[in-house]
């Protein structure tokens, strides 16, 4: 029997699990697995806490950084587990922890820091979308390496309608004016899914087909237009490197 791998000496990451993939994609694992693989983290380099199922959150101070997953839940429902997680995120952000919220995590972080989340008046955003960076993203530690326009995968119906006070909005899409923000200098939210590969995105389009049809959109056309989004995927590894560089300072 081989000895277990020791955790990386340069700091582990905490993945806060807020939801489960759609049924058709569960054979590919859960969100933390998708994120860990895209971020280049070994299993021993990340702990997972499933807050949706009531697991308690540990002290953030033992980690180099925290990544919050997406979810089918709605931040505006103010579920007990979600509000408890928001309180934890608020404390971690004010304590200078490196944070990255994805989709639901993006909205939850904005809510935790005093922003406003609500239904997107433009409807559901789904598929491979074009992200446009604002000029000041060129000075951002994560986004400065990305081109001014790049493709990303998105699936959501709610949006950050008002970013938290002190936040810098970094990116937008045709349907969403706040696709990414940074709060102070160590907390980021991204509405798009940097962890998604094309099969994840197509799976979500097909799973949400009836919702898309009800809004007058063609899921088959959206699925055909799904394409690779390598620039967006780079963001996770960039966050890991940046958070580790700050860890212990």
* Residues carrying an active site annotation: 103, 193, 195
3-state secondary structure the chain: CCCCCCCCCCCCEEEEECCCCCHHHHHHCCHHHHHHHHHCCCHHHEEEEECCCCCCCCCHHHCCEEEECCCCCCHHHCCHHHHHHHHHHHHHHHCCCCEEEECHHHHHHHHHCCCEEEECCCCCEEEEEEEEECHHHHHCCCHHHCCCEEEEEEEECEEEEECCCCEEEEEECCCCCCCEEEECCCEEEECCCCCCCHHHHHHHHHHCHHHHHHCCCCHHHHHHCCCCCHHHHHHHHHHHHHHHHHCCC
Residue 123's region, left for phi above 0, alpha for psi from -120 to 50, else beta, is left
């Amino acid at each position: 029997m081989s000895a277990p791998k020791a955790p990386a000496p340069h700091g582990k990451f905490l993945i806060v699990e807020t939801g489960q993939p759609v049924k058709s994609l569960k054979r590919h694992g859960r969100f933390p697995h998708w994120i860990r693989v895209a971020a280049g983290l070994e299993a021993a380099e990340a702990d997972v806490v499933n807050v949706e199922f009531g697991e308690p959150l540990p002290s953030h101070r033992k980690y180099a950084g925290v990544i919050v997953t997406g979810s089918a839940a709605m931040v505006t429902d103010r579920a007990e587990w979600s509000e408890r997680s928001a309180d934890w995120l608020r404390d971690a952000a004010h304590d200078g922890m490196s944070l990255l919220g994805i989709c639901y995590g993006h909205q939850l972080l904005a809510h935790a820091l005093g922003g406003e989340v609500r239904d997107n008046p433009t409807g559901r955003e789904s598929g491979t979308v074009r992200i446009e960076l604002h000029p000041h993203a060129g000075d951002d530690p994560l986004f400065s390496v990305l081109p001014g326009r790049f493709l990303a995968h998105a699936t959501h119906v709610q949006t950050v309608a008002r970013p938290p006070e002190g936040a810098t909005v970094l990116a937008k899409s045709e349907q969403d004016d706040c696709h990414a923000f940074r709060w102070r200098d160590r907390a980021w939210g991204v509405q798009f899914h940097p962890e998604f590969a094309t099969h994840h995105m197509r799976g979500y389009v097909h799973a949400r087909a009836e919702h898309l049809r009800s809004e007058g959109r063609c899921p088959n056309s959206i699925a055909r237009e799904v394409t690779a989004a390598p620039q967006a995927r780079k963001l996770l590894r960039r966050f890991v490197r940046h958070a580790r560089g700050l860890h212990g300072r």
